[in-house]
Amino acid sequence: MEDIITSLNDTRSYRVITLANGLTALLISDHKVRAPSSRHSSSSPNSSQRVSHEQLSVAEETPKDNGCAVSCLPLPPKISIASSIANYITERKYEDVSHDNKSLGPDVSAGRSYSPDSLLPLSDEGSSDESASDDEDASGPGSEMEGNSDTESGHPSQSESKPLNTKKDKMAAAALCVGVGSFHEPKHLQGLAHFLEHMVFMGSEKYPRENYFDAFLNKYGGSDNAYTECEKTVYKMEVHQKHLGRALDIFANFFVAPLIKEESMERELQAIDNEFQLVLPSDSCRHQQLLGSIAHEAHPMRKFMWGNTKSLKEVPLIEGVDAHAALRSFFEENYSPELMTLAVQSKHSLDDLEQMVSKIFSAIPKRTATSKLTGFLPHEPFPLEQFTKLYKVQPVKKVNNLSVTWALPSLLHEYMTKPLEYISYVVGHEGAGSILAYLREKSWALSLVAGNEGTGFHHNSTCSLFDVTISLTEDGLKHIGEVLTAVFGFLAMVQRKGPIESIFNEIRTVSDNNFRWCEEESPLDYVERLCSNMQLYPPEHYLLGETCLFEYDPAIIQNCLDMLVPQKANIMIISCRYQKQGICTLKEPYLETQYCVQDIPQEWTSAWANLTPDPYFDVPQPNKYIATDFSLKEEADYQSELPVQVRETGCYRLWYKKDTKFNVPKACIYFQLISPVMYMSPENAVLMDLLGDILLQNMSEETNAAVCASLDFSISVHENGLTIRVIGFNEKLPVLF
């Protein structure tokens, strides 16, 4: 087993084991939390791990002890201290900034949901000797240990037991990823993988009662959920530490022998149909489905992955297909343990976790796995004659967007270099010389986003998509040809300059800094992310393979750049104005998106044949906001629990609170201009909101580099005045502020 790289601040211990049936498990222990600067590695009978941090150049090897070091990926900074300062001054709450990457993405089938009223009373059942207890035997030692709360519960508790103390009780969590998704389902049953995800939770041979697991988790303050992607399906749950063993046994038996009862199908079909109704008004989902409809007939990207009553019930009935038999067949052919990766986090020791997981999950039998996509796939997912057209699309919302998309070969295996990360950084920057700055100067665009979304649809084993999406002004909508020429001209400039190592090193340094100083996330989110990473990366990169850059390979980057040419681009204009024009006469069959297809105008293609980039265009300049000093201030003998006023003049008051909990070199600053003028009238309120937006846009050329260096800021207007909030590494905050 190779070395696993960890963050310096990770206080947990880890172990990777492979069971006899082929399932790989990552065990994460909060037991006897260690000091942040130390790292441990553990050897189990099937593994031998050491800690290595050479890529980050910040650590030495340490003696083997009890755990293989792992870490979380970059997260938004916690700002509890800054919040307390702001609350203390203004006596009002400020909302934490949260980058929520758990929402339903366009490639993800919605997870399971249950009404608490539908849950049956919990009673003992099953043949397990654990089933008549509250898991005292299964949980093992350490089950009553206390820790900081990171609890997130998806279900209201109906427990008669004492409520959890959210300040002390940290949940245990587990997530299992099966390397099978919507791409693998048969063409005649679209949405089958998502349907199976729902049906798996409807009881097992050992625990046959439908929704028994949800009742159990509700009783002990837990929750569960699942989602289906293109090439994976993830199941997750959390529960109080004391009941982890029992919960894992119920959870594992869904994959040992699920009932998949025919009488449960109708209810779950209704749940899937309800989720489909949530997808219908999403313009991003509509864009994906329309793009997928252009793919080759035999390509899995063409499938309708959400599924609904029509695709899973009505069409199979007409064609004489037994959907119930297909569900069982899909499970038996794909849900084999060698395709499964499991992550479990709790306060149990690693030895107890290994014993528990080995005993429970070894019961999953090997099956005839056929999950790999077969060789019928064409070299390119999209036929160029259909892909390289101009699509005009009628959206649901009032938007005017331009989307330019390229389909590149799969880049999953190029995670060491991440060429699209480099290209996204260069194309998407907002400073002087950028596409966005150029378009804003002409009042043609409001915003620009470039890159790969990282979802299963956009980044999979068949292809990787690169997209440039521009939010257009009304004037920009009238100058689509010039906007496109600017995009292609900028790309031509970047292609001619070639990859620049100093820019790559800046991106790598920022990702390394974020990894080194990442902060702990909830156990449920943590195991969910890690079990998916285990499908993609070798053990040494389970934790940072998703975001960190390892090797500068200019040839790979240049190869990707050279494919971003006008002749291979798909162009979609998504505008609310098309509804009045009545030109969108075609309809996508599943989400019923209205659109039309046109040839790209000859005058445009002629202009693109001999592109001369505008002299204004340039790559990003060196980023002055990247932190290099991570030293911490010495603590005073006495630390107040509340913010302390350290200075007051006739113009301002300054309050300070030392962070004594997280010990990371980050600061949070709130600067509030207090004035009653802001909200004295409705007109003032509107003008102040406009002022805030104008300030943000006018500063974006300068502040975008700071955001790229993991500094964060916002400007908000409220009844007490205007607040500027800045968060990030201590060293560079004064430069931004």
Burial class (CB in 10 A: 0-12, 13-18, 19+), 360: buried
Q: How far apart are CA 621 and CA 32, in angstroms?
A: 46
Q: How many residues does the chain have?
A: 737
C-alpha distances in Å from residue 650, one per residue of 87, 653, 673, 720, 721: 21, 8, 14, 18, 18
Q: Could you tell me where the DSSP H helices lie in 610-671?
A: none
Strand partners, 728: 667
Backbone angles phi, psi at 448, to 5 degrees: -145, 135
Query: Within its chain, how far is the Cα of 372 from the centroid?
Result: 24
Close Cβ partners of 50 (under 8 Å, ≥ 6 residues apart):
3, 41, 61, 64
Q: How far apart are CA 259 and CA 137, in angstroms?
A: 27
The one-letter amino acid at 416 = M
Q: Which tokens is 138 given?
A: 């299964």
Angle, alpha carbons 75-510-97 (nearest 5°): 30
Q: How far apart are CA 447 and CA 405, in angstroms?
A: 17
**Residue 253: helix, strand or coil by DSSP?**
helix
User: How many other C-beta atoms are found inside a 10 Å radius of the C-beta of residue 443?
Assistant: 12
CB-based contact 4:69 (threshold 8 Å): yes
Q: How far apart are CA 724 and CA 716, in angstroms?
A: 7
Q: Which of 589, 341, 463, 456 is nearest to 108 (CA)?
A: 456
Strand partners, 648: 653
* Residue in 61, 125, 185, 197 annotated catalytic: 197
Q: Which of 576, 567, 599 is nearest to 390 (CA)?
A: 599
Q: Which of 339, 385, 617, 395 is nearest to 493 (CA)?
A: 617
C-alpha distances in Å from residue 684, one per residue of 679, 680, 725: 6, 6, 22
Query: Would you say the C-alpha torsion 154, 157, 162, 163 has a positive or negative sign?
Result: positive
**Residue 143: helix, strand or coil by DSSP?**
coil
Q: Which of 677, 666, 670 is nearest to 718 (CA)?
A: 677
Q: How far apart are CA 723 and CA 621, in angstroms?
A: 29
Q: Let me know if 634 is a catalytic residue.
A: no
Got the DSSP string for 669-709?
A: EEEEEE-GGGGSSHHHHHHHHHHHHHHHHHHHHHHHHHHHT
Q: Which tokens is 122 given?
A: 């919990």
Backbone angles phi, psi at 464, to 5 degrees: -130, 130
Residues designated as active site: 197
